[in-house]
C-alpha cells in the first residue's frame, strides 16, 4: 500500500465540522440525539474510569500535554503510542 496518510484525523475533521455549525443550524431532533449521545459517552467514560483496561490505555500515553481524558485529572499529548 503506497497511499499517503490523511492530513487530518477523522476526529479532527469531525471537530472542525462541529465548530463550523451555527446555533440552531440542525433540526431539533438531531440536536436532541447529539445531546443524548454526549450524555451517554460521558457517563460511560466516568463509569469506566477505574477499570483495568482504561488504566492500561492511559499508561500508553507517556507525555504530558493539553489533552484530557474524561474522568481523569492528568493531561496527555493527543498522540497515543500504545501499540
Give the pLDDT band (50/70/90) at residue 83: very low
Cα 3 from Cα 15, distance rounded (Å): 24
pLDDT per position as a tens digit, 5-56 = 778 888 889 889 989 999 888 999 999 999 999 999 999 999 999 999 998 9
Cβ contact 57:45 at 8 Å: no
Distances (CA, A) of 68 to 20, 22, 75, 76: 22, 26, 5, 6
Beta bridge partners of 67: 76
- Structural domain spans, the chain: 50-83
Can you point out the beta strands (E) in 1-83? Answer: 67-68, 75-76
81 closest CA partner among 65, 63, 68, 55: 63
Amino acid at each position: 500500500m503506497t497511499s499517503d496518510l490523511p492530513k487530518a484525523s477523522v476526529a479532527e475533521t469531525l471537530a472542525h465540522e462541529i465548530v463550523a455549525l451555527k446555533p440552531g443550524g440542525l433540526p431539533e431532533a438531531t440536536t436532541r440525539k447529539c445531546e443524548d449521545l454526549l450524555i451517554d459517552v460521558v457517563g460511560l467514560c466516568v463509569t469506566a474510569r477505574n477499570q483495568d483496561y482504561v488504566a492500561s490505555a492511559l499508561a500508553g500515553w507517556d507525555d504530558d500535554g493539553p489533552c484530557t481524558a474524561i474522568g481523569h485529572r492528568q493531561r496527555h499529548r493527543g498522540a497515543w503510542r500504545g501499540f
